[in-house]
């Protein structure tokens, strides 16, 4: 079975500062990796995904993530955050190949401070 | 592309009422749809997975007779909470996925269900 650990439940950061949200996963098989963002009272929006190929993945809203197989990590980064980035961020994995459901981490609340 | 519409966005009803929530993929055919429940400040808990034309697969601990799922077409799945009680109050989110390996799940905006 797969599992996802998001080590930080809350991350406060000042506006225009860089941020890294950490994600580690555990799996005995190959996985696909995803980051989603959830704004208050809304569903989840896909930020980016890693399926194969280049380990550095660029997503929407200036976010990027790097897959590190040896450390089983998929940390999300942004060089300069905005107030509008304040939201809940979820890391998720699914088994490959196949159509298994996503397994989510517990989420990280990013709060951007003016 | 890949828009998922969920309706209604908010429901308030009396205990004992049955509530139906619809999930539609607007611009793609969803081979598989998923229903999640989210408690305040918590992650998403998968309730069930449904494939078009098949019975839903429920996660352990989720009552099949309580949470009825129908996936009648490639663009529509419904979740009916039967005889709802206050403990069923929650945020319910659906997601849909196209066929094919590595496809991401696309999420609806959720339904806030409040049972009085």
Q: Could you tell me the pLDDT band of residue A28, with boundaries at 50, 70 and 90?
A: confident
CA dist A59 and B79 (Å) reads 32
Whether A34 has its CB under 8 Å from any CB of chain B: the answer is yes
Asked if pLDDT for residue A54 goes beyond 70, the answer is yes
- Do the chains contact at A34 and B104, CB–CB below 8 Å? yes
What is the DSSP code (8-state) at residue B31? Answer: S
Cβ count near B23 (within 10 Å): 28
CB contacts under 8 A, A 39-98 vs B, are 41-46, 49, 51, 90, 96-98
Expressed in angstroms, the distance from the first to the final Cα of chain B is 37
Whether A27 has its CB under 8 Å from any CB of chain B: the answer is no
Average pLDDT value for chain A: 93
Coil/strand/helix, residue A43 = coil
- Do the chains contact at A43 and B101, CB–CB below 8 Å? no
Whether B8 has its CB under 8 Å from any CB of chain A: the answer is no
Q: What is the mean pLDDT of each run of 10 residues along chain B (116 residues)?
A: 92 96 94 91 88 88 94 92 95 91 89 95
Residue A40, pLDDT score? 85
Coil/strand/helix, residue A21 = strand
A103 token code pair = 């397994």
């Amino acid at each position: 079975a797969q599992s996802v650990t998001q080590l930080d439940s809350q991350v406060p950061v000042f506006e225009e500062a860089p941020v890294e949200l950490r994600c580690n996963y555990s799996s005995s098989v190959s996985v696909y990796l995803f980051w989603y963002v959830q704004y208050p009272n809304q569903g989840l929006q896909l930020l980016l995904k890693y399926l194969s190929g280049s380990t550095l993945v660029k997503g929407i809203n200036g976010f990027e993530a790097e897959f590190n197989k040896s450390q089983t990590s998929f940390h999300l980064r942004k060089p300069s955050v905005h107030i509008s980035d304040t939201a809940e961020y979820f890391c998720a994995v699914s088994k490959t190949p196949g159509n298994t459901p996503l397994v989510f981490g517990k989420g990280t609340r990013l709060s951007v401070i003016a | 592309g890949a828009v998922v519409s969920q309706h209604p966005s908010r429901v308030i009803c009396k205990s004992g009422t049955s509530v139906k929530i619809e999930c539609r993929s607007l611009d793609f055919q969803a081979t598989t749809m998923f229903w999640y429940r989210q408690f305040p400040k918590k992650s998403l808990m998968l309730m069930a997975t449904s494939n078009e034309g098949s019975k839903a697969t429920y996660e352990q601990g989720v009552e099949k007779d309580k949470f009825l799922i129908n996936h009648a077409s490639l663009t529509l799945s419904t979740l009916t909470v039967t005889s709802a009680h206050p403990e069923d109050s929650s945020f319910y989110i659906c997601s849909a996925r196209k066929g094919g390996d590595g496809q991401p799940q696309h999420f609806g905006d959720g339904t806030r269900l409040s049972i009085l």
